[in-house]
A and B are shown apart, each in its own frame.
Chain A
Amino acid sequence: HTWNSSVSQVGPYIAVITNRTTNVVIRGTMLFSVGVFLALVLNLLQVQRNVTLFPPDVLSSVFSSAWWVPPCCGSASALIGLLYPCIDHCLGEPHKLKREWSSVMRCVAVFVGINHASAKVDFANNVQLSLTLAALSIGLWWTFDRSRSGFGLGVGIALLATLVTQLLVYNGVFQYTSPDFLYIRSWLPCIFFAGVITIGNIGRQLALYECKVVQEKIHQD
């Protein structure tokens, strides 16, 4: 009874939003598309570092990496973005820090900036690169997250992802275009960490929106 009445009262749109499963699917889709988009763009940044000039058909270089990389990134980001609010919920310590879209946007911008820096800035050696990127990533976490669960999950997933990538490389599924191998290894974990934090931020924000709508519904009932 209550369900029908709420549908009739607030209209189909809100009803769809409040449906939990649908909501998770919507969030997952959004996170997936964000992940795919970021993967494409950031891949382009990395490609630029190694290739000086492009042959006339530039757009093909956007998709120059293996076709499965963007979908993988997308699914990973969907997973992470759904996992973060879940963990917050389980641990019972909701994320309190600046939960606004502007803050999320800032976070994404800083993440892209870290990528940009790693692609464009010439570092003296790989240690310097690693240290700088690590400092930047930690700074990102401190500025936008500051939760223990976020840090733990970020580190865990970053290590896991690096491991998986290395395994893929060893098995020859995937190979770097970079001149030297160490460069990638020093770069990868930090980027993964920053990415996890960013996607987690987005996921939490989306989940927050759901909470708001549900609360609204409760009020209306």
Chain B
Amino acid sequence: MTVRERLRQNISAAFYRHGLLCASYPVPIVLFTSASILTCCYPLLKLPLPGTGPVVFTTGVRDYTIPYHEPQGEIGERPEWYRGPPVAYIQQVLVKAAVSPWDNTLVPVDVFRSPIGRVFSLLEEIRNHVYTDSSGVRSLESLCLQVTDLLPGLRRMQTILPEHGCLLVSPGNYWQNQRDLFDLDSDLLKTIHQHEPKGFHISTSLRDLLFGVMKEHTGVSLYSKKRVVTYTITIALSSYDPRFLGSLRARLKQLHPSLNCTLRDDHMVHVHFKEEIGIAELIPLVTTYIILFAYIYFSTRKIDMVKSKWGLALAAVVTVLSSLLMSVGLCTLFGLTPTLNGGEIFPYLVVVIGLENVLVLTKSVVSTPVDLEVKLRIAQGLSNESWSIMKNVATELGIILIGYFTLVPAIQEFCLFAVVGLVSDFFLQMFFFTTVLSIDIRRMERLWFLLADLNRQSPHTITLQAPAFRNLRLPKRLRVVYFLARTRLAQRIIMVGTVIWIGILVYTDPAGLRTYLAAQVSEQSPLGESGLPPHLGVAPVFPGGDPTSTLSVLPAPEPTIIPENHSNGHDSLGHITPVSPQISWGPEDEDGWKHLYLRQWPSLFSYYNITLAKRYISILPVIPVTLHLSPQEAIETRHPQDTRHQPPPIPRTPDQQNDLTLYKVAALGLAAGVLLVLLLFCLYRVLCPRNYGQNGVPHGRRRRGDLPCDEYGYSPPVSEISPLLLRGHSMDIECLASDGMLLASCCLAGQIRVWDAQTGDCLTIIPNNGLRRSSSSGGWEHRDGGADTGACLEGAECDGYPLRRRLTPSRPALFVDQPDLTPLIDTNFSELPPSQKPPKNGFDFGELVDRAYQEHEPSPSLAFTPSPTAPQPRRPSVGDQPVMSPDPCSPGPTDWDSSVWAMELRGNLIAAGRSSGKLELWDAVEGSLRCCNEDGVSGITALAFHNNRIVAARLNGSLDFFTVETNKPLGLLQYRGAPGRGSMPPSPCYRSEDVINCQLTRSVQCAHQKPITVLRAAAGRVVTGSQDHTVRVYRLEDSCCLFTLQGHSGGITSIYIDQTMVLASGGQDGAICLWDVLTGSRVSHVYGHRGDVTSLVCTTSCVISSGLDDLICIWDRSTGIKLYSIQQEVGCGASLGVISESLLVTGGQGCVSFWDLNFGDLLQTVYLGQNSEGQGVRQLLVLENAAIVCDFGSELSLVYVPSVLEKLD
């Protein structure tokens, strides 16, 4: 034994023990793993949350020195990025200017024209400022940040932003820093506005950059309430010279003192910018994530054969994700801080770690024998795959270790994470996933135990299932629809779409809601105008050109804040007291940069191709400048066209405007929302199937759980196909016969109806002429036509239901085409007298019967007259009430007292065997009695009609062979019916003028010791099954008994024989025997059911049997091995039919179900009617046009095989 072998064995054994452990204590192990995941992830709390927001660090101005490049050990508070010089020092001069006192003669433009005009002199002052000391002369030129060209894409900004010089921006840049241009500009607002970006824009606008304050705070507006203009002059400095800056500050303060300024000037703010994620970077990122999700999707799709597919898929993903988190957490714990962009490397990590092991594990475990204990299955599955799993892990670790030696730091870090992730993933796979798998398998096992309880005799009730194949079988279009319906995809897409839409709305903020809110908030700040009474807002405060016009306006109330003393005596202007602008400095000015810094600085620098990503800038304390301008100055600087900016006659106050915008926004938003909802609703209606989401609940009572479904809990959609109901019989249908073209049915009342099998039209009604005494139910009578009402009038049994109940137990059993062996039927025929019994209970209508009988008696004067009412085909007959047909021929020998026990239909002849032993031949089209044979006295229990021979089995065990003879030779008869795939030979068509004679050719008196229960004829053989446990095979031509087949230990209940001489029989002992008809030997003998075998069908490859135990078993025909079984609902019908080689149809409670024979899954269920409760389908015939006829209480149901299934064929 090599080392490798030994190692392999050891690993396998270890995995086996581990599997046992996991499956034995699932809950503690899951708890333990969860706890360890949480513990390992705990260090992650310390990490900063990912985001691109800038980080701020504040230092004092006094002792400021440029930080060193190398990290200093002793300084613990400094952030990591605070190393080396900043990209730039930003010095801002914050200017607040107002025309004071405000004069009514001033126009709105005066609010900002002269204050902005003063920027040029300030700029002059700053540019020309020099500081001289011992070390030399310093000016702004030597200190400022020199910039070169703008980026090529920004040509349109060339005239505005500085190039090849100091980076110094101010509102003066709009006019190229030239006073003349400013003075010549007739419309300042237009100049400012023309550089605003069109449409929705999320980055900073040029206006924000040049003014340096938020748009709302500049006060450059015709409707400004405060009439204070705020702007900044921003200087970017490349080096820090405290003395120069100090002298500049002192100079400006001296020129323009700000008396009430409380701004602090001792703090310097350093702002660090993280890497910004642009769309360009986002696209590859999104691509990798899409690939990742595709990978996860394709991987988890392979999980099969488990209870909850989605649960396990989730567990697999959780395993991988938490192992990644654990790896990051562990690395952080041991001092390694992640420097890589987590979002970027995450998909690659997942792909490297992979879901493969998990899938291999699942596959291995589910492929272990199902009859093992769960523990052992898990252990075996683990140990089977242990070697490959270990090999896999070792290989991956090896590859990653190689990667570690590339000595590239980023790759090394990636590999480190991957190694730790792999190890923790292995740990989680072994503990977490295995345990979850064991729990899942156990749940599945429970299901199987339930099935096994019901089905002791067959140990393997495993239903073979291959969902992968299911996809291939349905047409593409339907698969898509089913997929949509199953996953509620449309709903989810709509939901996600709405959420994304809302998110985009909030983010891009097209209506300016956010800025509006911000403005609202800042206006409510204590230093704003919150002190003013609210109605002041609506008061017109803009004096018009005509001072008298304002007289009519309510006088503005006294401002609550007394103007400060730097104004003059114009306050005492009587009752017209315009609000004089006041300039106040508050903490909001100090933090003014905070509103903008997020995007302002990076975009400003990016114009010059300087990135701030991963770098920082230092913002120096602002220099406050207060400017008070006299009205005279304002008027002097006025442009001639300024005065035409008169306020509108009814001046809109900003509040009103804001309100209007808000209303507009709200109305538009509402309209858009309503439109979207309508649109989505339409989409929903178009996309989604009609009974979407209420799968299988159209009948109200029927819940989803009641539906037949496969073991995934997936029940296929209930078909929309409504079966064709053939109504007309007044009582339960007893016999059903078909030759492919016609369909004959006989109900308990003895009425025979012939239907067109294609269209479902009722062609002929052969009434049970007049009154009839049921042989067994005693005292119940039926008169055609008036029966229903009559019965009700009698008050005896208005309700059809109890009536039926009472009848069923004593119903004569039929063995016509499909054996009807539900336990309700009393199969002991010997107890039944062939003739009527006196009524035991109920009402005795004897007198009534006699009277009515008398009335009808005179009519049969002619022996064999055709029916007076020529029974033409009745087209709209579906649902017809039973029509009173005048008592026709009533030939003498016909006795109406016996009921039809067996019926066969060939060509246009209906052979009916009656309980009195009479054999009648009716014309199916014309409804006339063609022939009658009364040779036997014992009731006919079963009939076979083959070519021109009729075989009748009687209650006493004898078998009679009849020949149907006509006056014509058989060869001249017309044949009807295409030679289809069915076993039925083409039937001769007897014309109505032909005289038909039915001759008893041979009678086998003691064919069986006990009543014959089943009779089948095919391929020139007649096979009978009897209560005496034997099957006999006769030759049809000469009625010679070929074999007596013995092998069953119970009465024979079902026989199948077809043209290919395959003979199968099922008995009350639950056994199924396959025989060779040529030799009479038994091919195989299997026990399949607990209780009677109720029905048997064969296809070329398999045998399908159903039993009283509600199980349908599918057997391999050649080997006799059970392939699989289908557990049906309790009490559902035992009727079976094979439509094609691979399509099985079964009758259930009020429904028929279609099954795929190859895989045993349910394809479709068709409900027969609304009130299907308690009505089982007992007989089921498959017609040649792939339609199915089944009885449904008193109705017949014609179900055309759904088109989906037809295509499968």
Partner of A9, one of B152, B347, B1207: B1207
> Across the interface, which residues of A come within 8 angstroms of B295, CB to CB?
102, 105-106, 109
Helix, strand, loop or mixed for chain A's interface? helix
Q: How far is the CB of B319 from chain A (nearest CB, A)?
A: 16
Known contacts A53-B611, A58-B279; A105 and B475 CB within 8 A of each other: no
Interface residues of A in 114-155 (CB under 8 A from B): 116-117, 120-124, 128, 131-132, 135, 139
Q: Is B716's beta carbon under 8 Å from chain A?
A: no
Contacts of A52 in B (CB 8 A): 609, 611, 613
Check B302 against A112 for contact (C-beta < 8 Å).
Answer: no
A100 within 8 A of B: yes
Contact between B280 and A57, CB atoms less than 8 A apart: no
Contacts of B354 in A (CB 8 A): 106
Contact A132:B288 (CB < 8 A) given known A58-B279, A106-B295 = no
Is A113 in contact with B279, judged by CB distance below 8 angstroms? no
Q: Which residue of chain A has the shortest Cβ distance to B612 in the bound complex?
A: A53
**Contact, CB under 8 Å: A55 / B151:** yes
- Complex Cα–Cα for A52 and B477 (A): 49
A124 touches B281 (CB 8 A): no
The docked-state distance in angstroms from the alpha carbon of A124 to that of B412 is 13
The minimal Cβ–Cβ distance linking B341 to chain A, given in whole angstroms, is 8
Q: Among B278, B399, B609, which residue has its beta carbon within 8 angstroms of that of A58?
A: B278
Q: Are A58 and B298 in contact (CB under 8 A)?
A: no
CB-based contact B408/A61 at 8 Å: no
Q: Give CA–CA (A102, B294) in the complex, Å.
A: 7
Q: Is B348 an interface residue (CB 8 A)?
A: yes
| Nearest CB on B from A106, distance (A) | 5
Within 87-101 of A, Cβ neighbours of B (below 8 Å) are at 100-101
Closest to B469 in A: A216
Say yes or no: is B710 at the interface (Cβ < 8 Å to chain A): no
- A56-B203, A139-B399 known; A48 and B611 CB under 8 Å? no
CB of A11 within 8 A of CB of B291, answer no
B537 at the interface (CB under 8 A from A): no
- When the two chains form their complex, are residues A132 and B408 in contact, meaning their CB atoms are under 8 A apart? yes
The range of chain A's interface size is 35 or more
Q: Tell yes or no: B49 within 8 A of A by CB.
A: no
Proximity string of chain A (29-65) to chain B, C-beta cutoff 8 Å, 1 when within and 0 when not: 0000000010001101101100011111111011000
Q: A109-B291, A112-B287, A139-B399 are in contact. Are A132 and B411 (CB under 8 A)?
A: yes
State whether the Cβ of B407 lies closer than 8 Å to any Cβ in chain A.
yes
Select one of B299, B407, B609 contacting A128, CB under 8 A: B407
Name the B residues within 8 Å of A47 (CB-CB): 280
Say yes or no: A62-B280 contact (C-beta < 8 A), given A53-B606, A109-B292, A113-B348.
Answer: yes
B351 CB within 8 Å of chain A = yes
Q: CB of A188 within 8 A of chain B?
A: no
- Known contacts A11-B1207, A55-B153, A109-B295; is A45 also within 8 Å of B284 by CB? yes
Distance from B357 Cβ to chain A, minimum over Cβ atoms (Å)? 13
Q: Which of A102, A122, A135 contacts B406 (CB 8 A)?
A: A135
Residues of B within 8 A of A37 (CB): 287
Contacts of A59 in B (CB 8 A): 279
At the interface, yes or no: B154 with Cβ under 8 Å from chain A? yes
C-alpha gap A124/B151 in the complex (Å): 30
For residue B233, give the distance in angstroms from its CB to the closest CB of chain A.
Answer: 25
Q: Which residue of A lies closest to B150 (CB)?
A: A55
- With A54-B280, A112-B291 as known contacts, state yes or no: A13 contacts B613, CB within 8 Å: no
Quick one: given A122-B410, A135-B406, are A100 and B280 in contact (CB under 8 Å)? no
- Contact, CB under 8 Å: B411 / A117: yes
> Of A42, A61, A132, which is within 8 A of B280 by CB?
A61
Cβ-neighbour of B284 out of A58, A116, A131 (below 8 A): A116
Contact residues in B for A44 (Cβ distance below 8 Å): 280, 283-284
- For window 344-361 of B, CB contacts with A under 8 Å fall at 344, 347-348, 351-352, 354-355
A158 CB to closest chain B CB, in angstroms? 21
**Residue on A with the closest CB to B477?**
A13
Question: Which chain B residue has the least Cβ–Cβ distance from A58?
Answer: B279
- Tell me, rounded to whole Å, the shortest Cβ–Cβ distance linking A129 to chain B: 9
Query: A132 CA to B409 CA in the complex, in Å?
Result: 12
Residues of A within 8 A of B301 (CB): 102
Residue in B151, B355, B406 whose Cβ sees the most chain A Cβ within 10 Å: B406
Task: Report if A76 contacts B (CB, 8 A).
Answer: no
**Is there contact, CB below 8 Å, between B476 and A62?**
no
Given A102-B299, A106-B295, A109-B291, the answer on whether A58 and B280 have CB atoms closer than 8 Å is yes
B284 x A54 contact (CB < 8 A): no
The verdict on A110 contacting chain B, using a C-beta distance below 8 Å, is yes
Closest residue of B by beta carbon distance from A142: B399
The answer for the CA separation of A18 and B414 in the assembled complex, in Å, is 45
A169 to B1174, CA, bound (A): 83
> Which B residues lie within 8 Å of A109 (CB)?
288, 291-292, 295, 347-348, 351
- In the complex the two chains form, is A128's CB within 8 Å of B408's CB? yes
Q: Which of A56, A61, A105, A122 is B298 in contact with, Cβ under 8 Å?
A: A105
Measured between beta carbons, the chain B residues less than 8 angstroms from A197 are none
Taking a contact as CB atoms under 8 Å apart, the answer to whether B344 and A56 are in contact is: no
User: How far apart are B49's CB and chain A's nearest CB, in angstroms?
Assistant: 22
Residue in B302, B402, B609, B1207 whose beta carbon sits within 8 Å of that of A53 in the complex:
B609
A190 beta carbon closer than 8 Å to chain B: no
Is A55 a contact partner of B348 (Cβ separation < 8 A)?
A: no
A69 CA to B399 CA in the complex, in Å?
A: 34
On chain A, the residues within 8 Å of B475 by CB distance are: 11, 13
B811 to chain A, nearest CB (A): 44
Option from A11, A105, A121 in Cβ contact (under 8 Å) with B411: A121
Q: How far is the CB of B408 from chain A (nearest CB, A)?
A: 6
Whether A13 and B288, one on each chain, are in contact in the complex, defined by CB atoms closer than 8 angstroms, is no
Shortest distance in angstroms between A108's beta carbon and chain B's nearest beta carbon?
5
CB of B1006, distance to nearest CB on chain A (Å): 52
Contact with A102, one of B153, B302, B611 (Cβ below 8 angstroms): B302
**Nearest CB in chain A: distance from B1188 CB, A:** 21
Which of A11, A57, A113, A132 has most chain B Cβ within 10 Å? A113
B472 within 8 Å of A by Cβ? yes
Q: Which of A53, A121, A216 contacts B613 (CB 8 A)?
A: A53
Is the Cβ of A113 less than 8 Å from the Cβ of B154? no
- Bound together, the chains give a CA A206 to CA B399 distance in angstroms of 29
List, in ascending order, chain B residues with CB within 8 A of A110's CB. 348, 351-352
B276: chain A residues within 8 A (beta carbon): 53
A62 to B280, CA, bound (A): 7
* CB proximity of B1143 to chain A, nearest CB, Å: 14
- In this complex, what residue of B is CB-closest to A101? B298
With a CB–CB cut-off of 8 A, which chain A residues contact B1207?
9-11
Chain B residue contacts of A61, Cβ below 8 A: 280
For residue A76, give the distance in angstroms from its CB to the closest CB of chain B: 19
B278 near A113 with CB under 8 A, answer: no
| Nearest chain A residue, comparing its CB with the CB of B1209 | A9
User: Whose C-beta in chain B lies nearest to the C-beta of A45?
Assistant: B284
B279 touches A57 (CB 8 A): no
Report which of B281, B351, B410 forms a contact with A48, defined as CB distance below 8 A: B281
Specify which of B292, B294, B344, B347 is in contact with A120 (CB 8 Å cutoff): B344
Structural contact, B302 and A41, CB atoms closer than 8 A? no
The distance from the CB of A189 to the nearest CB of chain B, in whole angstroms, is 18
Q: How far is the CA of A101 from the CA of B294 in the complex (A)?
A: 9
List chain B residues, Cβ under 8 A from A41: 283-284, 287
Q: Which of A142-199 contact B (CB under 8 A)?
A: none
Closest 7 CB pairs of A and B: A55-B153, A105-B295, A102-B298, A101-B298, A102-B299, A52-B611, A109-B351
Q: List 15 A-B contacts (CB under 8 A).
A: A44-B280, A48-B280, A53-B602, A55-B152, A100-B302, A102-B298, A105-B294, A105-B295, A105-B298, A109-B288, A109-B291, A116-B348, A122-B408, A135-B406, A216-B472
User: Which B residues have a C-beta under 8 Å from some C-beta of A?
Assistant: 151-154, 203, 276, 278-281, 283-284, 287-288, 291-292, 294-295, 298-299, 301-302, 344, 347-348, 351-352, 354-355, 399, 402-403, 406-408, 410-411, 472, 475-477, 602, 606, 609, 611, 613, 1207, 1209
8 new A-B pairs (CB below 8 Å) besides A52-B609, A109-B292?
Answer: A41-B287, A48-B280, A48-B281, A53-B276, A62-B283, A101-B294, A102-B299, A116-B288
